[in-house]
Amino acid sequence: MPKETIATRPFADTKQSYLRRKRWAVTLFYFAMGLCFSTWASRIPDIRATMGMSEAELGTLLFSIPIGQLFMMPFSGRLATKYGSHRTVVVGLVFYIFSLVGLGFATERWHLAAALFFFGMFSNLSNISVNTQGIYTEGIYRRTIMSSFHGAWSTAGFTGAFIGLGMLALKLTPLAHFSAVAVLLLTIIALNYRHLVKVKAVPRPAKKKLFSKPDPILLWLGVMAFCCMVSEGIMFDWSGVYFKDVVKAPGALVVLGYASFMVMMAAGRFLGDRVIQKLGRKRVIQISGCLISLGLFSAVLLPYIVPCAIAFMVVGLGVSTIVPSIYSIAGRNPNVPPGIALQTVSSVSFFGFMLGPPVIGYVASATSLRISFAIVAVFGFGIALLASRIKAME
């Protein structure tokens, strides 16, 4: 079975300028991925209103994304291993961008569902490939930089929110909005793909079964990341709807909740490495879980523009360092290679990001959106409790 390895110059001969090029290229690919998704997320309330969908109907359509992810999941890792993540991340991201434009063309619900299916497919291929690139780049740096990569993804999130706000102010259609962003994203790819960390496949004796039993610690970490991803996912897909339907914010301020969340999430990730060095990963994860609960419960109890925006900022700070910290802990597992460890954890956790929002739609339809957010708030305390049983590998 082939194993992906770095096909670059030896560590001893690596220069700082070479490292910086690699880091910036991977950082910009993270940014492009985040901007692609946040561009779609920023127009969800608008598309929902245009098609006249209820919360349950929107939730049903959003299931197309995890279905696409589930379809692609068995192939993403194999493709990245066989052809190299530096190739699959380019192919995956290009088709991810094309599927974004396809969402703008959707005029019927079945069309939107089909476009979301492909959107989910290529987001999975891009996600596995870009995180594999992050692992290899961190390897040639010989120090933790994963948090900064995720910070770039978060920066793209609130960048997409502000672009969405501007597009709404200009009264541009989702198609015009998505097409303009697509041109920008394709330009980023064209300028940076040559500087990705090159990897190649080399033979490796098949000593283990293809579907061997996952390491229990990795599954535990995956469950923690799953809880975090549920919280993050509802903020992406439902924060705008919450501000529109619960907070009753004016049209121009509907994106404020999403933007508040993303700004603080990005700030927390760029500052995360320093905080982790001071407090340790385990304690940071525990505190972060409590912040998620505090923020969501506050939004439920105080559904007004300013308090709710602040509450969403607290949620953003809470989710900012959890997944990067979990990835770092998983990568240090002495029993499993870093790439396999990352794939195990991300395979479990990403279902939280994709399945959480659709389920919230059904719960909100049966009860209310405020009750749905209160239920997800409990997940934050769950993260803190789960972290107490993990011995972090500092």
What CATH number is attached to the domain comprising 114? 1.20.1250.20
Closest by Cα among 286, 346, 391 to 134: 346
Assess whether 236 and 347 both reside in one domain: yes
How does pLDDT run along the chain (394 residues), one tens digit per residue?
344 455 544 444 447 888 889 999 999 999 999 999 999 988 988 888 888 888 778 878 888 988 898 888 878 877 887 788 899 999 999 999 999 999 999 888 999 999 999 999 999 899 888 988 887 887 788 777 888 898 898 789 878 988 998 998 898 999 999 999 999 999 999 999 999 988 765 445 445 454 556 778 888 899 999 999 999 989 988 998 899 899 998 877 888 888 899 889 889 998 887 888 788 888 999 999 999 999 999 999 999 999 999 999 999 999 998 998 888 787 677 777 666 777 778 778 877 877 788 888 889 988 999 999 999 999 999 999 999 877 644 4
Give the model's pLDDT for residue 6: 53
Last residue of a domain, one of 165, 181, 202: 202
Same domain, 70 and 198: yes
Q: Classify burial at 305, counting beta carbons within 10 Å of its beta carbon; exposed 0-12, middle 13-18, buried 19 or more.
A: middle
Question: CB count, 10 Å around CB of 367?
Answer: 12
- Specify if 317 maps to a domain: yes
> What's the domain count of the chain?
2
Residue 205: per-residue pLDDT: 42
Task: Give me the phi and psi of 192, to 5 degrees please.
Answer: -125, -10
Inside any domain, residue 173: yes
Domain assignment present for residue 233? The answer is yes
Residues 295 and 242 in one domain: yes
Both 265 and 151 in one domain: the answer is: no
Choose one of 156, 174, 202: the last residue of a domain.
Answer: 202
- What was the pLDDT predicted at 186? 98
Q: Is residue 209 part of a domain?
A: no
Question: Can you tell me the distance from the alpha carbon of 302 to that of 207, in angstroms, rounded to the nearest whole number?
Answer: 56
| Residue-level pLDDT at 171 | 87
Last residue of a domain, one of 202, 227, 251: 202
In sequence order, the β-bridge partners of residue 201 are 4
Q: Is residue 207 part of a domain?
A: no
- 302 and 357 both lie in a single domain: yes
Q: Are residues 360 and 385 in the same domain?
A: yes
Residues 161 and 231 occupy one common structural domain = no
- The answer to whether residues 311 and 219 belong to one domain is yes
Asked if residue 98 and residue 39 are part of one domain, the reply reads yes
Considering the domain architecture, whether residues 150 and 261 belong to the same structural domain is answered as no
Specify if 361 maps to a domain.
yes
The pTM assigned to this predicted structure is: 0.79
198 and 234 housed in the same domain: no
- Nearest Cα to 196, choosing from 129, 294, 123? 129
H runs (alpha helix) in 280-304: 281-301
Q: Write out the residue range of the structural domain in which residue 51 sits.
A: 1-202
- Residues 367 and 232 both lie in one domain: yes
